[in-house]
Amino acid sequence: MSGKPQMDDTLREKIIAQPDVILEDQDLMHALIAANERAMGGNIVDLRGIAMERLEARLDRLEDTHRSVIAAAYENLAGTNQVHRAILRMLDPVEFEYFLRDLGAEVAQILRVDSMKLVLETVQDKDDPAVKKLGDVLSVAEPGFITDYLMDGRNGDPRQVTLRQIHEGDERIYGQQAEFIRSEACLLLDLGEGRLPGMLAMGAEDPHQFSPQQGTDLLAFFAGVFERAMRRWLS
């Protein structure tokens, strides 16, 4: 080997003065390690190089996990703020008619759903003028409808929050919007002792907006607040 380095003197002096520049450049370090392996020949196993590769792979996985955790935290924070804003808006009205109107308008917009429907089981006539006056947000059904709808033929008791993807919404709930609904969140409502249950249905045109794999804590909290608001209106 020649004792004289085959490198520009200015570049060589710069590297000697700032070696950290090379050490912090991942691509450059890979190139140097590869050149060192070629110089050693094919019959020599560089255990240090193998260990470095494994450590780098582990670091890459840790960085990916770190980014995923941060993204999930931001998403959860955004969802929490969203639900809090919807609850504050829901508590503003002082009359039940305006409460329902806001539910299908401002509250639905804050939660970014395409349809918001309140389903109440009742033995009252569906064509009763008092029911019609409450607008398109309210749907009334016969006793037992909500459990049948949530369980979809399965045995057992329905969960408080049901998230699922559907081929098409139920027209009895979503009306003319039913054909566009591809996923829904159904919140089972306990309206108090002696009263039939209710259900708040949130429908979305995006099939991925609601799915069984998602968490339900925020929607369960929203359902709890909504139940208490409804009990106040029904008392």
For 86-129, what is each residue's pLDDT tens digit? 999 988 888 888 888 889 899 999 999 999 999 998 876 555 55
162: domain CATH number is: 3.30.450.40
- Asked whether residue 219 is domain-assigned, the answer is yes
Q: What pLDDT was estimated at residue 147?
A: 93
Q: What pLDDT was estimated at residue 9?
A: 75
Q: What pLDDT was estimated at residue 20?
A: 73
Q: What pLDDT was estimated at residue 1?
A: 45
Q: For residue 145, what are the domain limits?
A: 95-234
Q: What pLDDT was estimated at residue 219?
A: 93
155 sits in which H/E element: none
Q: What pLDDT was estimated at residue 153?
A: 79
Q: What pLDDT was estimated at residue 36?
A: 66
Place of tokens 């609904």: 181
Q: What pLDDT was estimated at residue 169?
A: 92
Q: Flag residues of the chain having pLDDT under 70.
A: 1-7, 23, 33-51, 71-75, 124-135
Q: What is the C-alpha to C-alpha distance for residues 186 and 133, in angstroms, rounded to an integer?
A: 24
Domain count, the chain: 1
- Asked whether residue 58 is domain-assigned, the answer is no
Q: What is the C-alpha to C-alpha distance for residues 135 and 101, in angstroms, rounded to an integer?
A: 7
Q: For the sheet containing 138-141, what is the strand order? A: 138-141, 115-121, 198-204, 183-189, 161-165
Q: What is the C-alpha to C-alpha distance for residues 33 and 29, in angstroms, rounded to an integer?
A: 6
- Asked whether residue 3 is domain-assigned, the answer is no
